[in-house]
Structure 1
């Protein structure tokens, strides 16, 4: 790739027109610069100033356009601006030929790959089935319901015997768990679709009985609830209960997060406190409209309008960081890449933005983040230290 092609690729990325393949090419080219710098002429250093003016000017254009007509775009200006700064660093590196101040522990980082479809199904009788290793087709049969794995990796319940599937006695529960570095989709017996993020679990009855459909969630899940006006769908987490009849929403309820975040994409939901998040104070409830997110912590319960695309980025195969706190972002990365993260220095006011594919190896993301010159990474095995 020559200098003109490199600049053209930067422009396409800033305009949001670069394909996934072109983005991979851009960052792969950055990798090559580390390996062999002999082919590039340092006399073009002066051109970096021209590119800097072009890029910073483009930031101002995006800001002005956003102020005049605040439209939610696939690439909001503040996310684009953060990505621009990353690319600017890449561009300056390209033209200056200066070696990076810190070279990532490439051998350790390069071994850490992205997560994938991994989960375990725990049947009511205690049988534990690895869905990762299970063949496509029938896995088990319970109470007249066939449990099968589809060709694209989904877990599906279908009625095989109507008489046997009639509810009798106490409910029978199954559970699906995703490990760190795993995700999975399940189609529940009522037709509800659930996507589980890494390090999450869903406990649910094999057959929904009575006047409600109740499930228990840990971690994070995205729900597309099948409509049934006679049976409420209830999602119970530690500290919160959500009630709907049919809608689309996302719940982030990891134990290591400071708050439970519920984001509504379609329909209407009622979010209520439970024992974990209140003591002597009366329990509170909030109703959400599409595009709203409730944030429930031990001390506060608020509702705000958010970019729903960012809330469900994981389900759509991406990481989207919008001026996100570095520690919050690294918690997301640690669950997906199965790493343990520690910090050396003060990171209280470090925020950044950008969008990355969840199929990228960790090394690809680390190199982009280091290009901001805000911090550097050290790694030994799966233990990663971020140094200020």
Structure 2
């Protein structure tokens, strides 16, 4: 992409008839890339129009300008030209040189203005879209020294050890424990990935989640931090015959296990509703000065009421790990939170929509359009649009 300064220089050369053929092609390609650029070039190259335009605009009083965005920008632009007029300029052979300098300034500032205006339009432009693809294997690892490793979307799991490698043995990078002791693996909205930690513990990360962990786990403590949702298959470890607990820190909670399988949902933006669903083994939840033991088939909840637990059908809470969505009497807003993280959209439920509970199961590999057709059986409708760089789903009767 050519900078504004480069374009101004080429326009100068063309008007002075010193431009080369290669430079002329660059300028013509720039003008052809956008009708706005083409119009601007034609205007500037018309000497009489340029002089008249500049003279007229230099006489415009700022208090006569209309109070809209473009006129505010114009006011700032020609304010700079007036400032240039007041500054001491080097001797010139003709008024043309001075107006050319003003034109160069005008082109440069207008070029920036066009970009700003375009950005403003793109951020507010709404376009109806028909579908969104499901998420996939997307993640990155950020090392404690700031290095970032983008993981291959054709793979689905990494293994930590003296080396960082994919599960099939493909080497990613050698790691020096003396220089880097911690790392964070994170998935974006619409992403998932698996990691095997150095102690053999396997972790499945759901969308929009991150796990911070030590590169090696030694001694009498194994501690990781989670923001998001993950399924843990914790490897039992012993030191001197003593079983070493595995601890997971979340916002406002500590989960302590010895060797077990469970699902932990603890998104920071849903801090008042952490859920730990135990598949097998036992778990201790610590929060707000209290401790709650869990047995297989129980779900511990940490919300505004404090720590409490209940018996649940664990299938719907770990379905995502098996690439499924299972909604069994799930409130509409909660279901939309789950879907929005996987398909990467924002959502709005209109006030007229009555409280709705969903009963459905389907593959996470389906496109959003097919999922919405299933949910429409509950008597609600959807509108999907793209606004700027974001997708938005509106739910209505």
TM-score > 0.5, shorter chain as reference: yes
Structure 1 residues 53-64: aligned runs within 5 Å: none
- Cα distance in 1 for partners of 2:157, 2:279 equals 32
SS in 1 for 2:335: helix
CA distance in 2, matches of 1:267, 1:193: 15
Range moving further from structure 2, 359-368 or 129-138? 129-138
C-alpha change, 1:152 and 1:344, in structure 2 (3 Å) is farther
Contact 1:156 1:188 in 2 (8 A): no
Whole-angstrom distance in 1 between the partners of 2:276 and 2:214? 23
Find out whether 1:376 has 2:397 as its counterpart. no
Counterparts in 2 of 1:268 and 1:191: CA distance versus 1, 3 Å: same
Q: 1:356 to 1:209 in 2, by over 3 A?
A: same
Q: Partners of 2:207 and 2:140 in 1: how far apart? A: 12
Alignment of 1:195 with 2:215, yes or no, is no
Give TM-score, length-normalised by structure 1: 0.62
Please list, as runs of the form range in 1=range in 2, the aligned pairs for 1:300-319 lying within 5 A after superposition.
300-319=306-325
Deviation at 1:304, TM superposition (A): 0.4
How far is the alpha carbon of 1:346 from its aligned partner? 3.7
The C-alpha deviation readout for 1:42-78, integer Å capped at 9, x for no partner, is: xxxxxxxxxxxxxxxxxxxxxxxxxxxxxxxxxxxxx
C-alpha displacement of 1:222: 0.3
Q: Where does residue 255 of structure 2 map in the other structure?
A: 242
Contact 2:136 2:153 in 1 (8 A): no
Q: Quick one: distance in 2 between partners of 1:137 and 1:284?
A: 36
Could you give the per-residue CA deviations for residues 80-108 of structure 1, whole angstroms, max 9, x where no partner exists?
Answer: xxxxxxxxxxxxxxxxxxxxxxxxxx971
Q: Distance in 1 between matches of 2:282 and 2:231?
A: 15
1:272 to 279, 286, 291: 286
Who is 2:222 aligned against? 213
Query: Do the aligned residues in 1 keep the contact of 2:137 with 2:154 (CA within 8 Å)?
Result: no
Q: Give the secondary structure class of the aligned counterpart of 2:218.
A: coil
CA 1:314–1:156: 2 relative to 1, 3 Å: farther
Q: Deviations over 1:176-233 (max 9, x none)?
A: 0000000000000000000000000000001113211000000000000000143210
2:244 maps to what in 1? 231
2:302 pairs with one of 296, 299, 321: 296
* Deviating more after overlay: 362-371 vs 254-263: 254-263
Q: Larger RCO: Structure 1 or Structure 2 (Cα < 8 Å, ≥ 6 residues apart)?
A: 1
- CA pair 124-375 structure 1, distance change in 2 beyond 3 A: same
SS at match of 2:296: coil
Distance 2:196 2:143 in 1: 15
Q: Deviation digits for residues 113-158 of structure 1, max 9, x if unmatched?
A: 000110001122211111035889999x9xx7110013499x999x
Whether the 8 Å CA contact 2:206–2:228 is kept in 1: the answer is yes
Which residue does 2:136 correspond to in 1?
116
- Residue 348 and residue 235 in structure 1: after superposition, are their counterparts in 2 closer, same or farther (change >3 A)? farther
CA distance in 2, matches of 1:345, 1:137: 42
Q: Does residue 330 in structure 1 map to residue 336 in structure 2?
A: yes
SS at match of 2:130: helix
Which structure: larger Rg?
2
Contact 1:271 1:286 in 2 (8 A): yes
Of 122, 141, 145, which aligns to 2:162? 145
Offset at 1:235?
A: 0.5
Aligned pair count reads 263
Equivalent positions of 1:76-225 (< 5 A) are: 108-110=129-131, 112-132=132-152, 145-151=162-168, 172-225=181-234
For 2:4, the equivalent position in structure 1 comes to none
Unpaired segments ≥5 residues, structure 2: 1-126
Which residue of structure 1 aligns with residue 277 of structure 2? Answer: 263
TM-score, normalised to structure 2, is: 0.61
Alignment of 1:287 onto 2:301: no
In 2, are the aligned partners of 1:120 and 1:177 still within 8 Å (CA)? yes
Distance 1:213 1:324, change over 3 A: same
- Assess if the C-alpha contact under 8 Å between 1:156 and 1:187 holds in 2: no
Q: Would the alpha carbon gap of residues 238 and 138 (structure 1) be closer, same or farther in structure 2, given more than 3 Å must change?
A: closer
Gaps of 5+ in 1: 1-105
